Structure 1
Amino acid sequence: MNKIDPSLYLSNQNISREPKPTIDKDGFLKILMTQLQNQDPTAPMNENEMVQQMATLTSLEQMMNMSKSIELLVNSQVESPVIQYSHLIGKDVTYLSSGEDSETSREETGKVIAVSQRDGIAILELDNKQKVEVTKVSKVSLN
């Protein structure tokens, strides 16, 4: 005969619950539906209360959508190489110019006038008409 593990008894289970500090759309809908199911049929919720709760639900949903949109915007800006390196505009950068071989390469300096990106890499556009990948920069300085 199989024995039941005593640790599985309900009385031995941890029943503490942590309340959420905020309520989401689904939680609000559950509360609203429970309220509608348990209301007194002889004295139903008046129309004004229902309209207020639906307006609250709509506002909650709009705030959640706006919050998600702002989060996406912030994340896209943080990951953007253009945003990450835009602080270099107006500064002098020293970089290794690419020659035909390593012997003809030399250090050059130019002032950053714009930042763009190609294949996820920041490209610094300089006042000497050069375009330099940020990975080739060896020094950044003020004028």
Structure 2
Amino acid sequence: MNDHFRLTHEALDVAAAYAIADKARNGAVVLMSGMVRNQTGGRAVDYLDYQAYDTMALQVFQQISDRCHRQFPITDVVIHHRLGKLKIGEISVLVAVGSPHRGEAFEACRYAIDTLKAEAPIWKKEFWLDGVSSWVNCPI
């Protein structure tokens, strides 16, 4: 296993996350990049702010990876998440999964991001262009 987890205020690097999961033993690497979009529910978004309980979030990333390894024949899991203020178009989360076969890599990547969004103590606050803001789908 070559799993890697990261929380950072720095820009996320797609090529670096991909490279961690890109090993000779793998026939596939699936990478999911979540980005800040310019609207939610028809409202224009100005920016997002992400906050986390860092220590617990990294533990949840490890738990997600452990479950992925138990459920799917995969070799590598990479989970990187941004914190702080993110502008439209910036990457907020990267999940990469390496596997000998593409089907399992796709399934595990989807499982990982869906579980992260449901379980990780990471909170998103949306700031709209009209000056209003609100917390969104806080899992804890």
State the TM-score bracket (shorter-chain normalisation): under 0.3
Structure number with bigger Rg:
1
- Structure with greater helix share of residues: 1
User: Which structure has more RCO (C-alpha within 8 Å, separation ≥ 6)?
Assistant: 2
TM-score (norm 2): 0.19
TM-score (norm 1): 0.19
